[in-house]
Amino acid sequence: MPYRWKGVCAPRRPGLVCRPHIFFAALAALAACLSVPAEARAGKKRRAPAGGRAAVVVDERLAAVRDAPDLSAALVRRLGRGRLVAVAGERRAADGVRFYRVVLTRRTGGWVQAEALVSASRAGDDERLLRLVRASAGFERVERARIFLDTFARSPHRAAVLLLLAEAAEEAAAKLTREARRRLDAREMEATGAPRRSFFLNFSGLDRFRRRGVAFTFDAATTRYDYDGAAWREILRRHPRSPEAARARARLGASAAAP
């Protein structure tokens, strides 16, 4: 016969002790976890694994983890842009390509081409990433600029990267405006009874920028997004004497004067 408690039925098995309070406590804990927004669960600052100096992937095209320091070695896995690793060693292959031995977890690791990574503890990596940010466009520029700002807190190039980030965000605002206008159907929005602006502020195209700390304002009268100018304000606050400060001031002035 089945064993029942409080509406829950489970088969009786030899040696099995039924503890309803533990069962329901576990269910409550699971429900509490699932009720926390994903952003909150992911909001903790990420850390590189132990085992070496911290580094971050900035060029996912080169971020192939191999089982030996050689471009022809077997592929273990690929790493995405922004992935944190620990660099535990370095070796140059016979053809001159430099590899880092990286730790991914306590049990996994391998060899990655050095140019795929940057590290705050390695001289010159900030300049190398600055060149890559300048050569990038669109969201890739935004993401790599954000990696720079998170990684190189004391770099003399921060003002330049903040300006590049702001310019990319401005371009993104115009593109997002066109996409949202095209994809959001006026009749469907009206049929729901929800405020029209709420559809634009919930537009899925904004999500990946928000995850990188880039925000946009929305003008309901013109149905237009605008970059909120956070990077320009940071330039004026932290780098007021930099060459980029004049451009940041001008852009903030133009943004305030826009209809």
Per-residue burial over 225-242, b if 16 or more Cβ lie within 10 Å, else e, is bbbbbebbebbbeebeeb
Are 87 and 51 contacting, i.e. CB atoms less than 8 angstroms apart? no
The CA distance from 183 to 179, in Å, is: 6
What mean pLDDT do residues 139-158 have?
A: 97
Mean pLDDT of 137-141: 97
Cα gap 131→122, rounded to integer Å: 16
What CATH code would you report for 53-118? Answer: 2.30.30.40
Structure tokens at 18: 């039924």
Write the pLDDT tens digit of every residue in 162-185: 999 999 999 999 999 999 999 999
pLDDT of residue 36: 39
How large is the average pLDDT for residues 105-120? Answer: 96
The pLDDT of residue 258 is 59
Q: Give the global pTM.
A: 0.79
Q: What are phi and psi of 126, to 5 degrees?
A: -65, -40
Which range is least confidently modeled, 9-13, 33-37, 94-98, 234-238? Answer: 33-37
Share above pLDDT 70 across residues of the chain, in percent, rounded to a whole number: 81
The C-alpha atoms of residue 56 and residue 159 are separated, in whole angstroms, by 21
Per-residue pLDDT of 115-135, as tens digits, reads 999 999 999 999 999 999 999
- Please tell me the distance from the alpha carbon of residue 156 to that of residue 98, in angstroms, as a whole number: 27
> In angstroms, rounded to a whole number, what is the distance separating the alpha carbons of residues 79 and 56?
10
Integer angstrom CA distances of residue 192 from 179, 204, 223, 238, 257: 21, 18, 18, 45, 34
In Å, how far from its chain's centre is CA 212? 5
pLDDT tens digits, 69-106: 999 999 999 999 999 999 999 999 999 999 999 999 98
139 pLDDT above the threshold of 80: yes
Comparison of pLDDT for 26 and 78, the residue scoring more:
78
On whether the CB atoms of residues 76 and 110 are closer than 8 A, the answer is: yes
| Domain extents in the chain | 53-118, 125-257
